[in-house]
Structure 1
Amino acid sequence: MPLSAATSAREILTGLHDVMAKRGSAQAKLDHVVDLIAEAMGSEVCSIYLLRAGALELSATKGLNKSAVHVTRLALGQGLVGTIANEERILNLAEASSHPAFAYRPETGEEAFHSFAGVPIIFRERAIGVLAVQHAEPRAYAEVEIEALQTVAMVLSELIAGARLVDGAERRRGQGEGMIRLAGLKLVAGMARGHAVFHQPRVVVEHTVSEDPELERARVVAAFRKMREQIEQWTREAEFGTAGEHQEILETYKMFAYDEGWVRRINTAIDSGLTAEAAIERVQQRTRARMLEIDDPLLKERMHDLEDLSNRLMRIVSGRIGTAAQSGLARDAVLIARNLGPAELLEYDRRRLKAVVLEEGSLTAHVTIVARAMGVPVIGRVKDIGHIAAEGDAVLVDGNQGSLVVRPTRPIASSFDNRMAMSQKRRAEYAAIRGLPAVTRDGLQTTLMVNAGLAEDAATLDATGADGIGLFRTEFQFLVSAALPGRDAQFKLYRQVLDAAGERPVVFRTVDIGGDKALPYLNDIRDEAENPAMGWRALRLSLERTALMKAQARALIEAAEGRTLRVMFPMISEPWEYEEARALFEAQVEWVRERRQGPSRIEYGAMLEVPSLAEMLDQLLPRIDFLSIGTNDLTQFLFAADRADPRLALRYDWLSPAILRFLRRVAREASAAGVPVRVCGEMGGRPLEAMALIGIGISNFSITPAAVGPVKAMVRSLDASAIRTKVEQLLARPPRDMRKVLGDWAKRHGVAVG
């Protein structure tokens, strides 16, 4: 190629609009375009293939047989051209016939040409055609030649779509592409239907050719400056990313944001005649093409970070930097995002937010915890959802199965509605028993309390008929704050919760941060261990950071003035940890009572999550007022199975004889000591598992608000003495499949386990 990439592209762009603006048929315009490109690039062959009737049709050529125009057709994925369009990738081949996808078309006369280079013509993130050049001599095309082709293809896409030369080019991305089923990771259960709303809507490049390159360059410089300022601000105060990844993500973002090579490539694209937005998109397309050639998963992940940063830069340069929450949700929304922080999620109107779909996400991410408390279904690890769905698409979300449907057909939507209706019918049945006691058929009284973490959660007590809050996770306030919450802020929250609960009990768990709940504003509590859940967290951290715990203790004590304060300590391994924590609390009680009225009564409890504590219950039980069993952590520690790892999700079962025997022993010891036991965790919120827990002597539960109705229905249909007899028999001689045996028993005895 005799000219530079920028010069060649600029020369072509100058002529393209002139050609397309002239009067004449669409075919005549395409013929002029390939002549123009071939001449400017010194190419023997230049061809344009356009997507028509579902196939790529040779629509114009300079150098191949003219008789093949509108005759040669290739399906998506067929031949070199079909591969380029289907995978939206670049092919640069010194010998075209050596590629496994090569498909010979004799009518084109292309056997005389050996080298081949092709780039996708992309309009609104969808390939609508292919631009290809060929030479007789076998040679690989230079990088500058490929870049020139990409630049030309970008502008060509706008002109082709504007002239409606391809099928559906005038439609928005995703529309009319048909129904698509997707699977992901179940994060928060529930069913919902709504319309796709992007947390940070993608910017569609409407104008590609610039009139003033200097102005476009200045816009990019200003955008980079603003983006870098944002990243520096994140490092100082904002919550960012997911648990355990903050520092790594920020360092990667900094690396890309200050990468002069990235800036230089964008400026080169501007030199070729593109607007700032088109230049960023052009470089982004090249990055996507390179990602397809990378096998290293770590490098691919870094490329995803660059893609995310490119989108941010695009939003800044176009002036569209807000989120969907800031612009408001017009109707029922299924929120789509790469990832979210809990504070970002809380900005959305709960009445309109129906579900969340994430490209990333994990079971222990902060946003998952908050979404569960909000009752919003969430599916994570949905690959490429940001490109598959379009803004406004109808979406069906089944958080129970970890699946979703984009653009459902009428029969599929109808079937989904029927399943949702059944679910709503069950909720109506649960609402009918909301005011009735959770008593078994033979008179056993159970207590059903809820887990909470936000001030608004106290409102669920009336809605569900729960007996109180059995676990208030005080760390939520820390997770959603940009800075460490002070004592006054904590006091305000705790007083608000107690006021909303009224006479119903509230059990506050002291802050459980550290480990996998890293806070961006407390860099020194990060745990880099391979399994942070078993690291420096919860009470272990609080006993070392006593100022943190003293501030929380005083806030709780002052908030409970004149009432009963119930507080429990998490992650206790040995009784001495409980003793130290209680002594610290009682010192603060004494300090408060010297100055003002304190709580009328304080009840202290311990959480049994670490198996070692079960061996020391004879020492612990005389000192505590209640015992809470955290089945989530306890189970993963008992089975040495990380609950955040989806590969291990089915490797252990809460109805395993091992866990049931362990919990039965704990329940018996606590009962003998006169200490009430409560299960706090997902196990107690599942009707079949709750039935088994009643069978081993546990009748107090703290569960999600959504689980109160199903568990109460199970309790009211159960004969407690019968299930106790049955469970004792099963634990004496455990069956191969405890879950199946218990499920069959429940069905025969009319127990409502769902």
Structure 2
Amino acid sequence: MTAAASAREILTRLHDVMARRLPAQAKLNAVVDVIGTALDSEVCSIYLLREGVLELFATRGLAQEAVHVTTLALGEGLVGTIAANVETLNLDEAATHPDFAYRPETGEERFHSFAGVPIIRRERSVGVLAVQHEEQRRYADVEIEALQTVAMVLSELIANADLIDAAGAPSTRLLPTAASHAPGFKLVDGMAAGVAVFHQPRIVIEHTVAEDTEAERHRVYAAFDKMRDQIERMASQAEFGGGGEHDEVLQTYKMFAYDEGWSRRINEAIDSGLTAEAAIERVQQRTRQRMREIDDPLLRDRMHDLEDLSNRLLRIVSGQLGTAAQMGLRQDSILVARNLGPAELLEYDRRRLKGVVLEEGSLTAHVTIVARAMGVPVLGRVRDVRKLIAEGDLLLLDTTEESLFIRPSQAMQEAFEAKLALSQKRRAAFAQLKNEVPVTRDGQRVTVMVNAGLRDDLAALDLTGADGIGLFRTEFQFLVSATLPQREAQRRLYKDVLDAAGDRPVVFRTVDIGGDKALPYLNHDEEGDEENPAMGWRALRLALDRDGLMKAQARALIEAAAGRTLNVMFPMVSEPWEFDEARALFEAQRSWLSARGKKLPIEIRYGAMLEVPALAEVLDVLLPEIDFLSIGTNDLTQFLFAADRAHPKLALRYDWLSPSILRFIRRVVEQADAAGVPVTVCGEMGGRPLEAMALIGLGIRRLSITPAAVGPIKAMVRSLDHQGVRALVTTLLAEPRTPMRDALTAWAAERSIELA
């Protein structure tokens, strides 16, 4: 029997039970008999959340004396774990599970197998439906599917019968009125002020069991047609122009909208006896459960796109508008949501939308890419926003400080406005430097380039007056795509980058994927789960192993740079032979294209990134082979200190101005200078004025930094005495007893060096 048929059989019987004029308790008693009989299960029990605990409300197979007596706290026992985690458990031996808790009054000791599903109402667990059996066996997928469908119908019965008291109902607590602060994670940089607008009030499904299956199916078909029309219209109206990652995002989003697998799953849920709304919600619940089980952040982001579409389809089929975008923003607003899909963000009036606050979100999410293109600041990973914020609250958003201020006091507003005005004034002053050359007061020229990875970043070259692109992260194109980017798509992107740069140099870093930047369309089974992904099978290691991917990228880069100079840099080189293999692969592709009469670059310059400390010990072997060297300070620092830079307790513990880091970089610079190889520092260290000043003191002449840092770095360089800072850094590193940061800050203050 299929899952749909099994569920339909149970739902038909449940429909009869629910239609009878019986007290709620009698209905639940009948329900456990129906489910137990249908699944041939010796035990079927319903636990409901009351007064903060899960209470056994009805059972077939356990001791009747335990009903309304046995209770479990959220997170306690198997039932409490299911409710707390909103997850399904399916065990052939319940007692072996670490969360198993024995309740002697139930008489359950003779039952071995156990399966339980959460009963969900408005996205939270309000109870648990569980079955047990004497025999040791895992319940079949068809049985679990049936249980999950039945649990959805039970939530309607429970709500209509008022079986859940205030403690189990959705929270009606009063929101705080005092000013408060919530930390988050910067996704898109910026500052914004506006009133809180919740993206989407929850649509409550009132009827779950269908009277006419075919009528429900036609409702879903009509809703799909309307939703796809909306997506097509939005994609055609997107005002970004000229292609870009956001266009690829929308194409991926459209792919989900036309996914036959998704519509088939909704149809199967209708076959089981659910209404159109309940069927969409049922499939959405499965998606949410899969999202909780997925560790890969990129796959989770793609799941968010599917949830966004589910919400849209649910609103259409129910006839409820629901989103703030459709109702219109009446004033400057900051949007608050658990998560957003890219198309939903595009619906908002960009004149009124000033910022976005998300409970979830990531740097590689589609909504982040689109928000960056729109110029909307986004703060992600803000916990419990619905408990902290009420609709209409005034919010101050400062993603640079990774902070959200809720219902700010007058003093907080004044301080924010002053900082915003100062920030705008500084930006204006830095913008005035775009045509100024970064030369120290004693005549030392410093090359200041930008890091990039998106087409939208290319505008920063002219806006900042940067000397070029010192690091183009080619993996971004791979990360935002649902499938492996074709060679022609790669070639077009690289050509666009070179065209935008004109005569200014561009350094393309080959793909740095793998590890913590896994791609959903590459098979990672053979690598397994990595405990230390930053130090794992990634970057050049993976590219040399999967050389088909690197060959396609090499050919795309060579073709894109026809008639120009191509600068290629290999990431995470640990030993010289890795660089040699990568260069040989590129040269083989150049020969292949040449043999076919293709126009080639006038020159290919090869460089390496020094991120792995081991490479510094063999520089005498590597330097004669390379044209340039880049020091990647982000990874280098964490490898030198054995400290994960993403770990909250370690992120601020190790200073870039530590003597160990500075001495290491100085040694590299001295060796490279002696070999006549130019050195660039890439990474956050070079974009901070004080740290950049120290790097110049070490002999660094080339920096590649974020576009926003170009103005401040230019201002610092033009106020600096090069010989003075070289002498200072030499003295401090010879006797590193004084804290380096304090000494450098004091020296800069005495000489009025701009470090703002």
TM normalised by structure 2 equals 0.65
Instruction: Give the partner amino acid of 2:590.
Output: V
Matched, 1:490 2:490: yes
Residue 401 of structure 1 is matched in structure 2 by 401
Matched, 1:427 2:427: yes
Instruction: Give the partner amino acid of 1:575.
Output: P
Larger CA Rg, structure 1 vs 2: 1
Q: Select which of 693, 696, 705 maps to 2:707.
A: 705
Distance 1:551 1:723 in 2: 45
Q: In the TM superposition, what is the alpha-carbon distance from 1:91 to its structure 2 partner?
A: 11
Distance 2:592 2:154 in 1: 77
Residue 204 of structure 1 is matched in structure 2 by 203
Residue 60 of structure 2 is matched in structure 1 by none
Matched, 1:150 2:159: yes
Distance 1:9 1:315 in 2: 30
Q: In the TM superposition, what is the alpha-carbon distance from 1:540 to its structure 2 partner?
A: 1.3
Instruction: Give the partner amino acid of 1:151.
Output: N
Q: Is 1:84–1:91's contact at 8 Å kept on the other side of the alignment? A: no
Structure 2 vs 1, CA of residues 597 and 735 (structure 1 numbering), >3 Å: closer, same or farther?
Answer: same
Name the SS for the 2:677 alignment partner: coil
Question: 1:495-538 CA distances to partner (integer Å, 9 max, x unpaired)?
Answer: 11111111111111111122211112222486521111211211
Residue 458 of structure 2 is matched in structure 1 by 458
Q: Is 2:464–2:707's contact at 8 Å kept on the other side of the alignment? A: yes
Q: In the TM superposition, what is the alpha-carbon distance from 1:672 to its structure 2 partner?
A: 1.2
Residue 730 of structure 1 is matched in structure 2 by 732
Name the SS for the 2:745 alignment partner: helix
Q: Is 2:634–2:684's contact at 8 Å kept on the other side of the alignment? A: yes
Q: In the TM superposition, what is the alpha-carbon distance from 1:152 to its structure 2 partner?
A: 4.2
Residue 694 of structure 2 is matched in structure 1 by 692
Q: Is 1:203–1:314's contact at 8 Å kept on the other side of the alignment? A: no
Name the SS for the 1:419 alignment partner: helix
Residue 441 of structure 2 is matched in structure 1 by 441
Name the SS for the 2:700 alignment partner: coil
Structure 2 vs 1, CA of residues 551 and 719 (structure 1 numbering), >3 Å: closer, same or farther?
Answer: same
Q: In the TM superposition, what is the alpha-carbon distance from 1:545 to its structure 2 partner?
A: 2.0
Alignment of 1:588-667 (within 5 A): 588-594=589-595, 595-667=597-669
Name the SS for the 2:649 alignment partner: helix
Q: Is 1:203–1:315's contact at 8 Å kept on the other side of the alignment? A: no
Name the SS for the 1:523 alignment partner: coil
Q: In the TM superposition, what is the alpha-carbon distance from 1:602 to its structure 2 partner?
A: 2.0
Question: 1:558-603 CA distances to partner (integer Å, 9 max, x unpaired)?
Answer: 2112111111111111111111111121222233334133112222
Structure 2 vs 1, CA of residues 332 and 529 (structure 1 numbering), >3 Å: closer, same or farther?
Answer: farther
Distance 2:737 2:511 in 1: 40
Q: In the TM superposition, what is the alpha-carbon distance from 1:629 to its structure 2 partner?
A: 0.9
- The range that moved more, 364-373 or 605-614, is 364-373
Q: Is 1:329–1:352's contact at 8 Å kept on the other side of the alignment? A: no
Instruction: Give the partner amino acid of 1:150.
Output: A
Q: In the TM superposition, what is the alpha-carbon distance from 1:329 to its structure 2 partner?
A: 8.9
Residue 474 of structure 1 is matched in structure 2 by 474
Structure 2 vs 1, CA of residues 124 and 553 (structure 1 numbering), >3 Å: closer, same or farther?
Answer: closer
Alignment of 1:194-593 (within 5 A): 194=194, 201-205=200-204, 208=206, 213-214=211-212, 218=216, 315-319=312-316, 334=334, 336-339=336-339, 354-361=354-361, 377-385=377-385, 388-389=388-389, 394-408=394-408, 412-524=412-524, 528-593=529-594
Name the SS for the 2:508 alignment partner: strand
Q: In the TM superposition, what is the alpha-carbon distance from 1:436 to its structure 2 partner?
A: 0.7
Q: Is 1:514–1:527's contact at 8 Å kept on the other side of the alignment? A: no
Question: 1:309-358 CA distances to partner (integer Å, 9 max, x unpaired)?
Answer: 99875653332799989979968664545456899989999887654433
- The range that moved more, 412-421 or 372-381, is 372-381
Distance 1:416 1:519 in 2: 40
Instruction: Give the partner amino acid of 1:604.
Output: Y
Distance 2:521 2:429 in 1: 46
Distance 1:667 1:749 in 2: 26
Q: Is 2:315–2:322's contact at 8 Å kept on the other side of the alignment? A: no
Q: Is 2:373–2:456's contact at 8 Å kept on the other side of the alignment? A: no
Q: In the TM superposition, what is the alpha-carbon distance from 1:612 to its structure 2 partner?
A: 0.8
Q: In the TM superposition, what is the alpha-carbon distance from 1:442 to its structure 2 partner?
A: 1.6
Q: Is 2:269–2:283's contact at 8 Å kept on the other side of the alignment? A: no
Structure 2 vs 1, CA of residues 424 and 593 (structure 1 numbering), >3 Å: closer, same or farther?
Answer: same
Name the SS for the 1:731 alignment partner: helix
Question: 1:198-224 CA distances to partner (integer Å, 9 max, x unpaired)?
Answer: 67x34434x84799754799469969x
Distance 2:415 2:545 in 1: 55
Distance 1:659 1:695 in 2: 13
Residue 146 of structure 2 is matched in structure 1 by none
Q: Is 1:284–1:307's contact at 8 Å kept on the other side of the alignment? A: no
- The range that moved more, 735-744 or 187-196, is 187-196
Instruction: Give the partner amino acid of 2:203.
Output: V
Q: Is 1:679–1:700's contact at 8 Å kept on the other side of the alignment? A: yes
Distance 2:389 2:472 in 1: 37
Residue 49 of structure 1 is matched in structure 2 by none
Name the SS for the 1:472 alignment partner: strand
Q: Is 1:451–1:702's contact at 8 Å kept on the other side of the alignment? A: yes
Distance 2:602 2:155 in 1: 77
Distance 2:179 2:206 in 1: 31
- The range that moved more, 212-221 or 695-704, is 212-221
Distance 2:660 2:162 in 1: 63
Distance 1:582 1:340 in 2: 42
Residue 58 of structure 1 is matched in structure 2 by none
Q: In the TM superposition, what is the alpha-carbon distance from 1:406 to its structure 2 partner?
A: 3.9
Q: Is 2:514–2:542's contact at 8 Å kept on the other side of the alignment? A: yes
Distance 1:568 1:325 in 2: 46
Residue 755 of structure 2 is matched in structure 1 by 753
The total of aligned residue pairs comes to: 599
Q: In the TM superposition, what is the alpha-carbon distance from 1:627 to its structure 2 partner?
A: 0.7
Question: 1:131-170 CA distances to partner (integer Å, 9 max, x unpaired)?
Answer: xxxxxxxxxxxx999975532459999xxxxxxxxxxx9x
Distance 1:282 1:189 in 2: 37
Q: In the TM superposition, what is the alpha-carbon distance from 1:397 to its structure 2 partner?
A: 1.5
Structure 2 vs 1, CA of residues 348 and 714 (structure 1 numbering), >3 Å: closer, same or farther?
Answer: farther
Q: Is 1:342–1:480's contact at 8 Å kept on the other side of the alignment? A: no
Q: In the TM superposition, what is the alpha-carbon distance from 1:667 to its structure 2 partner?
A: 1.0
Instruction: Give the partner amino acid of 1:646.
Output: P
Q: In the TM superposition, what is the alpha-carbon distance from 1:378 to its structure 2 partner?
A: 3.9
Distance 1:548 1:392 in 2: 50
**What residue ranges of structure 2 are gaps of 5+ in the alignment?**
1-12, 28-48, 58-66, 74-119, 125-150, 167-171, 229-244, 247-260
Distance 1:367 1:393 in 2: 24
Instruction: Give the partner amino acid of 1:317.
Output: L
Distance 1:639 1:197 in 2: 43
Aligned CA RMSD, in angstroms, stands at: 5.6
Q: In the TM superposition, what is the alpha-carbon distance from 1:430 to its structure 2 partner?
A: 0.6
TM normalised by structure 1 equals 0.65
Q: In the TM superposition, what is the alpha-carbon distance from 1:425 to its structure 2 partner?
A: 0.9
Distance 1:145 1:548 in 2: 50
Q: In the TM superposition, what is the alpha-carbon distance from 1:462 to its structure 2 partner?
A: 0.9
